[in-house]
């Protein structure tokens, strides 16, 4: 494992990242061909939180938040701090003090594959965290990791500078080179859904709107009038 | 596995189902002799949701929501869609579009042994889902299942036409033939609790109200004045 | 296993317990040298709940709440009921009736290594419970346990009369003999954090405020300008 | 919940059940259209165990094995005892004494959605158990359940008299009415696999043997010579 | 948390500890009134391992085995090292080198609420470990804990000098003061079971041997001849 | 997600990969600075299996093994097939037929973040699989993934051509560019351990051999003669 900090990383286009945030996690994930999602155990600490920003990545040891302090310095406005951990761990690695530092730098939120604490204060601050646990357990400062190298967080690979979209549905990562393309695909998908929604609200069925009946019949689906006909 | 859709199913008496909803999940479960509960990992997507309706059942493959679209057509006002899955799966099989279709038909909510997504929109729509996970992961449309056959959902057997009661405490299923009887038992239980609640609020103890002291003593319970007497 | 109830237990100083509550779970845990936390699967049934009181302990069998009724009688104003279970269990051992009894006696809340139910009513009552699950599953009254003996709850040892602090971050137990000392240490820690918070809000870094740079460099941390330099 | 014991149940054809056992769990599951499997957390207590018999079903309370003793009397040679539990529970509900009784009656083994104990003795006895846990935790005899009613075990519905096949790959249930048909389908499947196995051993690919290439290309699969061509 | 090592601890009577080992985990647990068990996730690294000895206790930080080395020095022949961890952790805290040290001192085995590694070598050495995981993940030496203070391990309280019995069924702890009494109770229980086993093998039922029929009938159990009578 | 197959991938030096296999998973992981491990839920289907080879990577949909057949064709002697899955899934994606194909090509084994089946036959074949589950659940062939692109498997990033070492302790991945270096570091580590092992066997303590006493004292560790001195 390299114990290194990369100071300068490329970031994606602000407008496209903002557009991804408007589209939301589910739509962005679909627009990418159903990829990029972090594991569903990653949950926001309060309902309604929604962010889109550039990943600053950090790898930390379990129960050790030394490297988080190192990572803070590498963050700038519009970033999202993404924290991978060397093994399964739920310790409360981040709380209101580090979050105050991050918020002071314009960081939008944190995605951490471990625990967080001070959630009431964080909620009052309006600083959202997506984590695998809420835990007050404190941490030491003893082991190095790295900052701004590729990291696996909640089962997904995140490179520094990738776009991170997070909302009530979870977290998705978009590779930096694909941000603009995915933003456009997400926009098209949203448009399409916005057109079909009123039809569904009016009682039309996706079976007809999306023409599924022939495929179902071809696959062998049979209708019977009642259980007596089974 | 039968790949079949049963079009017509019997449903229980509306008044009794409504009464079950008023009694709530915990009381209904008790009134049934402590049976019928789905596993406690089934949680509502927002607090305060509470429904009671008739089960339309569907069995789906993991990561595949094709049959949900088929099931929508079989639902009518007052129904609850109950989704079993062929194996453990948390994919986001249902979101705001299918829910719009269901709500347009008067369906009260969904109970799904998998994941759901678009939870912010669903919350705004007032369309509740009880699920094992929230996940944005998208699904394919490739594998058949069935609709309105008996299904195991979160460890409980649900037959089409059974009553489904769901609230903040979880989900309970009442076999169709027992709906009226259980509604009456639940009403009696609620009455009894309403009578005893003021007594507890006034400081009386269940030890006395329910006469437990003799049983406890008979089982061998001993009181000592302090830890020094152990 | 002793099947005994201890009637009289010592309790800690009220002022210091109240001070611990103001400091909050995370700060108290840190002030104790990072100890005393219950497992993070213990979650409050509603956001914003926060209590600090004296532990009345009870050990129960899985799916059996007989001893809870026994324990109620041993509680007094300012207490917190702490429930250990003989094995992993999520049954809804406590609901609104027992809670009404407890609230009538001035008990502040419950910490239970099992499930609870009637959470909507409990929320309306303002009676908080920290539990490992919400479950409507009912319980029997068949097996003895004990009251006010030491109990393991969610991985932590709790003695009767210990202080229990619980809030959005979880639950921590403070041994009775250490309550005053920990309250003072927590106060000092809070003071210190209150001083450093404005500095972080103003953009200063913990790397500098806490003087971490030398330690990091000594441990071998290297900075590079970009990924090309790796 | 009915607290009843059904004394006489129909059982399936012995020859066909034996044939299912020879085919093995995976083949039987496939022959049924990929259905009937219990959850994969059900594991045998020793490697190499393999049985096929008729289900005697029993529903028990958590931590309570009273009904197991009732169920023993309803078992006969060639049966498999299938134990459902009212909630998640890992207590050691069955050990060497009950197993001695069962083995004396010619019962082939046990499938229990809870824990078992005395596994060394059971292994020496050659009496296999598929369980969700190994646990020494003892049980009480206080709560009724039922025997030979339909039961959900590890997520699957089992009716008394269904065939149970269990081996190193897990457990599958075959509805009684389908035993003969599934046995024949399993035999055909085994024959087919026995023919293709030597071809695979000789280096032929399923891509060709099963003619998958056109389907993959049609779905959009692309081959490139190296990562530089991406 | 005290960071202290207690050098001298009392140990229980060797003969009685040995007798507990012969009785086995399940019998000892029953003889104690069904108490003392560690959580069933604690599994031996190889089948057939069985030990009984005196607990030397150690509390360690997650991912940190510094204190294990400290604990080794406090062990003597006939001891079992019991390792509690400050939070959930599966890191491979102990391997063949520490085990070589322990075996050289006559230690019988290890019970660790974390992971272990080098399991093939440990198996060849005949040095058994009961752990919650097998993991190669290495550990640091950075954080203090303590040795020979009371520790919670896998949900059970272990005091230094308590007896630890471990076999294929799991791990049980017997408080030092009760070792002799429990050994005698376990012997009686074993005798009783040895007498009843031949009766069960000969086909007698526990329903009759233990006289359960009246109790079952009194509780309301009903027998019907067939499902048609329900 | 790219639906592509990369035909030609670089592989590492055979001798060094073989040397990594001899060193074993734990030593290799340590030699890499404690990195590269897959999650500890990955377990071999039989004890004693140990392999070291070059990764061929494949990403599959849950419950869908279509791409495994595609991947087989890209494997050659000395390879290890590494299977990532798009979400949590335990279906039995690989059994004895695909394994026969793989073994015919000289593939050493499989590492799959899902389930496998036919484990008795696989054991007889001597073809090892490390998986997160054993499950007979069958799969469909409906959804594309990719072959020989980077994949996350059990929380670790694996690039095609990386070295995979797997044994009783789990699975570790070594980036291709570091294989030779890590093999040398692992050799040195093994040498060092081989020297120290006899010293530990003779009763020397790591406290002395590794000179830990000063560090422990400096960190504040205190020794007392007995619990009375606390």
* Reported ipTM: 0.96
Are F170 and F40 within 8 A, CB to CB? yes
Task: Give the residues across from C80 on adjacent strands.
Answer: C55, C109
Chain D residues whose CB is inside 8 A of the C61 CB are 63, 140
Q: Do chains A and D touch (3 or more CB pairs under 8 A)?
A: no
C57 contacts: CB under 8 Å, gap ≥ 6: C82, C83, C84, C147, C148, C149, C150, C151, C153, C158, C159, C160
Task: Give the residues across from B82 on adjacent strands.
Answer: B57, B111
Give the number of residues written for chain D: 230
Give the chain A residue nearest F87 (alpha carbons).
A39
Distance CA D224, CA A184 (A): 27
Q: In a structure prediction context, what are the per-residue pLDDT tens digits for chain D, which is 230 residues long? A: 899 999 999 999 999 999 999 999 999 999 999 999 999 999 999 999 999 999 999 999 999 999 999 999 999 999 999 999 999 999 999 999 999 999 999 999 999 999 999 999 999 999 999 999 999 999 999 999 999 999 999 999 999 999 999 999 999 999 999 999 999 999 999 999 999 999 999 999 999 999 999 999 999 999 999 999 88
The predicted model scores a pTM of 0.96
Question: Which pLDDT score is estimated for D230?
Answer: 87
Strands (E), chain C: 4-8, 43-44, 51-60, 79-85, 92-94, 109-116, 129-134, 146-147, 151-153, 156-158, 163-167, 170-174, 222-226
Do residue A4 and residue C223 have CB atoms under 8 angstroms apart? yes
Mean residue pLDDT of chain B comes to: 97
For the stretch E167-226, pLDDT in tens is: 999 999 999 999 999 999 999 999 999 999 999 999 999 999 999 999 999 999 999 999
Do residue F39 and residue A88 have CB atoms under 8 angstroms apart? yes
End-to-end alpha-carbon separation of chain B, Å?
61
Taking the CA atoms of F52, F58, F60 and F66 in sequence, report the sign of the dihedral they define: negative
Query: Which subunits count as partners of chain C given 3+ CB pairs below 8 Å?
Result: A, B, D, E
Average pLDDT per 10 consecutive residues for chain A, totaling 230 residues: 95 98 98 96 97 98 96 98 96 97 98 98 98 97 96 97 98 98 98 96 96 96 94
3-state helix, strand, coil in chain C (%, to 5): 35, 30, 35
Are F99 and F110 within 8 A, CB to CB? yes
Looking at the predicted structure, is the pLDDT value of residue B65 above 90? yes
Question: Which pLDDT score is estimated for A1?
Answer: 82
Question: Which pLDDT score is estimated for C1?
Answer: 82
For the stretch C102-154, pLDDT in tens is: 999 999 999 999 999 999 999 999 999 999 999 999 999 999 999 999 999 99
Are C116 and C156 within 8 A, CB to CB? no
pLDDT band of residue F230 (cuts 50, 70, 90) is: confident
Chain F residues whose CB is inside 8 A of the D204 CB are 101
Instruction: Work out the average pLDDT over F66-80.
Output: 98
Q: Which of B213, B186, B205, B208 is nearest to B18 (CA)?
A: B186
Do residue F197 and residue E70 have CB atoms under 8 angstroms apart? no
Do residue D135 and residue E200 have CB atoms under 8 angstroms apart? no
Distance CA F174, CA F161 (A): 9
Chain E residues whose CB is inside 8 A of the D70 CB are 207, 212, 216, 221
Mean residue pLDDT of chain C comes to: 97
Question: Which pLDDT score is estimated for A230?
Answer: 87
Q: Do chains F and C touch (3 or more CB pairs under 8 A)?
A: no
Local structure of C20: helix, strand or coil:
helix
Distance CA D107, CA D186 (A): 24
Local structure of D2: helix, strand or coil:
coil
Question: Which pLDDT score is estimated for E118?
Answer: 98
Do residue F137 and residue B86 have CB atoms under 8 angstroms apart? yes
**Which residues of chain E carry a pLDDT beneath 50?**
none
Chain E residues with CB-CB distance to D under 8 A?
Answer: 24-26, 29-30, 34, 37, 40, 43, 47-48, 50, 167-170, 172, 193, 196-197, 200-207, 210, 212, 215-216, 219-227, 229-230
Q: Which two tokens stand for residue F71?
A: 């991947």
Q: How many beta-carbon contacts under 8 Å exist across B and D?
A: 31
Cα–Cα–Cα angle for B116, B121, B123, nearest 5°? 80
Distance CA F117, CA D170 (A): 9
A111 contacts: CB under 8 Å, gap ≥ 6: A38, A42, A80, A81, A82, A83, A129, A130, A131, A153, A154, A164, A166, A171
Are E173 and E36 within 8 A, CB to CB? yes
């Amino acid at each position: 494992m390299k114990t290194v900090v990369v100071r300068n990383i490329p970031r994606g286009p602000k407008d496209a990242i903002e557009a991804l945030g408007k589209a939301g996690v589910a739509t962005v994930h679909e627009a990418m061909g159903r990829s990029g999602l972090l594991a569903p155990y990653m949950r926001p600490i309060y309902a309604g939180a929604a962010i889109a920003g550039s990943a600053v990545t950090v790898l930390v040891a379990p129960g050790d938040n030394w490297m988080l302090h190192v990572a803070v310095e590498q963050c700038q406005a519009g970033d999202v701090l993404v924290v991978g951990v060397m093994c399964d761990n739920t310790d409360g690695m981040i709380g209101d003090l580090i979050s105050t530092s991050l918020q002071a730098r314009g960081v939008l939120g944190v995605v951490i594959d471990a625990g967080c604490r001070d959630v009431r204060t964080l909620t009052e601050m309006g600083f959202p965290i997506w984590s695998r646990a809420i835990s007050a357990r404190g941490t030491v400062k003893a082991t190095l990791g790295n900052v701004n190298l590729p990291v696996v967080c909640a089962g997904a690979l995140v490179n520094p500078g990738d776009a991170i979209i997070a909302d009530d549905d979870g977290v998705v990562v978009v590779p930096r080179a694909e941000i603009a393309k995915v933003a456009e695909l997400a926009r098209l998908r949203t448009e399409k859904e916005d057109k079909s929604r009123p039809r569904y609200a009016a009682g039309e069925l996706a079976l007809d709107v999306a023409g599924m009946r022939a495929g179902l019949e071809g696959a062998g689906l049979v209708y019977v009038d009642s259980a007596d006909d089974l």
